[in-house]
Amino acid sequence: MKRRFGALSLAVAATLFFGQQAEASSHDVETELLRDDSEAQDKCPSACSTQSEYWTGQWRTAAPEKTSSCHCALPPFEHLVIDAGSSGTRLLLYEVARGPQGCQVTPSKKQEQKKDSTLSALADMDVKKAEQELGERITALAPTRVVLLGTGGFRQKGMQGERKMRELRGRLARHVQQVEIISGKTEGELAWLATRPAEKTPFSTLEIGGVSVQFATGETGGDIQSVSDDAVGIHVLSEELGKDKANCLKEEENFTRCMAAVGQRLESSQLVRKASKLIPEGQHRPVYIIGKELDALFQPGKELSLANLEGIGKKTCKDARTGDDKAKARCFNLAYLSALLKAVKVESIRKGADSWTRAAAVHADYFPNCR
């Protein structure tokens, strides 16, 4: 499918911005603040006239005062985005409203639901089993539309990953309307769009996955630059540097050794070479991190400096020598993140969006009712 991020990303960024910043979305405004007015309604069309199969509702007045200005009040959609990643498959259900600003994720409790965090990676799963397990979950959720997007785990497998995705597309045709592998560049752009902060200033995002890492930067939704590397994800390097990881937990300077080992591997990576060219020299841009294993590091609205991160890492790794496997994994994760930030010359980070899927849920490439 031909990508239209250049033309559409600005609109997506705007809708995400309004959806995140306003406590009430355009749907909330129409259904909660507008009231019927029989005299004003006489001046409005009797029904919503549109070619879109998703567009239903009744005409209502645009203000409590009598007015001939009309809007079409719509029920929310249920958009299900299936993130077929390398370390597992997540089903994320978003309640989406369509209003004057386009599609927006509503501030609903149903905004994001992980129905089964134990569902394994589809790239390694038998297609018949995938059809059964996903089919049951999708039927239970009964969303308006379902999109399945494969990321680093599928990209890493090359032609084998493409064949598996074609098999899944055929098997899941009854349940899923769109099945495809997205590029690392697209994944990075979606992560940037999903993160868009309140202030309209240039910013960057660093999305860390099990297989891949995406770095994106931009000033508006129309000028996003994104690079990706499917060989330096946190799980890839954890396995690749397994021996070093084990050794570094046995010595006093364990964190420093772990960080140095990861840093040496990253120095020659495609990610570091390309990311260094994206930001104009001398220009500071806040960097937002997206990675489910890193959420516990952040306090709401606070920046975390590289120096503070290294301090946390040294303490964590020291404690991990007498801890369990989870403690040792946290030690490596902190060493990895510290080395990655140093490699791409980032001095501090903020917490980004929960997932790039938030932007996909309102993107017209995947959900035509958002056009």
Higher pLDDT, 209 or 66: 209
Question: Residue 291: is its pLDDT beyond 60?
Answer: yes
Which residue type occupies 193?
L
% of the chain residues with pLDDT over 70? 72
Q: Which of 1-15, 25-39, 307-321 has the highest mean pLDDT?
A: 307-321
Range of weakest confidence among 50-54, 62-66, 152-156 = 50-54
57 pLDDT exceeds 50? no
What does the block give as tokens for 183? 């590029």
Outline which parts of the chain fall under CATH 3.30.420.150: 202-351
Contact between residue 176 and residue 192 where contact means Cβ atoms under 8 Å apart = no
Domain spanning 202-351, CATH architecture? 2-Layer Sandwich (3.30)
Contact 80, 116 (CB under 8 A): no
**Can you give the C-alpha Rg of the chain in angstroms?**
23
Look at 13 and 130; give whichever has higher pLDDT: 130
Pair type for strands 89-99 and 102-105: antiparallel
- The pLDDT, as a whole number, for residue 94 is 93
Per CATH, is 77-185+356-370 categorized as 3.40.50.150? no
CATH 3.30.420.40 domain residues, the chain: 77-185+356-370
pTM of the full structure: 0.80
Residue 1: the pLDDT is 46
pLDDT confidence of residue 284: 82
- Could you read off the pLDDT of 228-275 as tens digits, one per residue? 999 999 999 988 887 666 666 666 568 898 899 999 999 999 999 999
